[in-house]
Homo-oligomer: A and B are copies of this chain.
Amino acid sequence: MKRREFLAAGTAASATMLAAPAIAQSNPTINWRLASAFPSSLSTLYGTAKYIRERVAEATDNEFQIQTFAAGEIVPGGGAVIDAVESGTVECCHTCSYYAIGKDPVFAFGTCMPFGLNSRQADAWLRFGGGQEQLNAFYEGYNLHALAAGNTGVQMGGWFRKELKTVEDLRGIKFRVGGLAGTILSKLGVVPQQLAGGDVYPSLERGVIDAAEWTGPFDDEKLGLYKVAKNYYYPGWWDQGTVISLMINKEKWDALPKKYQAVLSAVSGDANNWMQAQYDHENPAALRRLVAEGAQLRAFPEEIMQACYNATTETYEEISSGNETFAKLLESMMSYRDAASLWWQVSELPYDIAIARAGAARR
């Protein structure tokens, strides 16, 4: 009912009969629960869920309330939050969709693909390149609807006890790395390890593993890995524009009044920008602190980058041959990346190089 209709109706009916249901329809009170895939110690990642909660409450005079829960509070973290949304245990979660690649590797496209799009290209593909639309068509089979709500930008390639010089140096390395990157790197002899955040430091210290990746300087600093593995490699070619999504139970989304759908969409788009900005604010200072503590910044040698790129292509071909949706999304995303490449080479890239050079000249 539109406000004008209500006012007209109001003059013709008693207050007790009319006011309650009419207002309930126009401004229903909604209470949702959001399970974050991340622990509350990660202020950028879990912080974004809180940001969403606060902005939605403000924009609706507290009539749309979203309670947020950190990993482990009501649902374990990681992929479990996606299951909880699918089954309707909670209305929504804030997570990387790629935690669900065990269900189907297509879930990886909602986060990022090795050698795929950078953060800004991901936004462009999702909003204008048909990305979010294709993903939501796929998610519908899991009773899910997603909105992009955060990005980390390019992450680091991880902490290595020993320096890497040739592709041979990867052979036998026990590397804490997950998802598709693990599958790809195993083609080069790496032995991928799955470890929870809290187990990484002691395992690396005791030499149970040889290397570990987490996210970027600001989050990595909290784990203290620079104390036990000094070689800090870049770039993290498997997490280079990592989208964090608000994944919503599809029935709950469909039942949400249009007004609140609009609020949640706007707040997610704002949060998408906010999280990236927070990482871009925190990472530079954290990196300089890590270097001061003795972290050795090292680029993956060109030979290793090339071998990883080739292993990625091979892995994509293998998955695509048995998964039509994967093949379709891969083509959509990678042709988008290739089409953007020339523009990037005459815009962001030369400008960032000019600034790096100017900085070097000032030092």
Chain A residues engaging chain B, CB cutoff 8 angstroms = 2-3, 6-7, 10-11, 13-16, 18-20, 23, 26-27, 29, 55, 58-63, 115, 118-121, 123-129, 153-156, 216-217, 234-237, 240, 258-259, 262-263, 265-274, 276-278, 280-285, 287-288, 291, 297, 299, 305-306, 309, 337-356, 358-359, 361-362
User: Does the CB pair B3–A19 fall under 8 Å?
Assistant: no
* Chain B min CB distance to A112 (Å): 11
Q: Can you list 23 pairs linking A and B with CB atoms under 8 Å apart?
A: A6-B23, A10-B20, A11-B19, A13-B15, A15-B19, A26-B27, A26-B61, A120-B153, A123-B277, A124-B281, A127-B277, A156-B346, A216-B347, A235-B350, A237-B351, A270-B272, A272-B273, A284-B344, A285-B339, A288-B339, A299-B346, A309-B358, A349-B349
User: Contact check: which of B55, B276, B355 meets A115 at CB < 8 Å?
Assistant: B355
User: How far is it, in angstroms, between the C-alpha of A263 and the C-alpha of B16 when the chains are bound?
Assistant: 31
Chain B residues within an 8 Å CB radius of A15: 10-11, 13-15, 18-19
* Chain B min CB distance to A115 (Å): 7
* Chain B min CB distance to A55 (Å): 5
Chain B residues within an 8 Å CB radius of A276: 120, 123
User: Does the CB pair A127–B269 fall under 8 Å?
Assistant: no
User: Contact check: which of B13, B154, B346 meets A347 at CB < 8 Å?
Assistant: B154
Chain B residues within an 8 Å CB radius of A280: 120-121, 123-124, 340
User: Does the CB pair A7–B26 fall under 8 Å?
Assistant: no
* Chain B min CB distance to A277 (Å): 4
Chain B residues within an 8 Å CB radius of A19: 6-7, 10-11, 15, 18-19
Closest B residue by C-beta to A148: B273
User: Contact check: which of B11, B258, B349, B361 meets A352 at CB < 8 Å?
Assistant: B349
User: Does the CB pair B358–A266 fall under 8 Å?
Assistant: no
Closest B residue by C-beta to A351: B235
User: Does the CB pair B153–A299 fall under 8 Å?
Assistant: no
Whether A270 touches B266, Cβ cut-off 8 Å, given contacts A120-B153, A351-B154, A353-B349, is yes
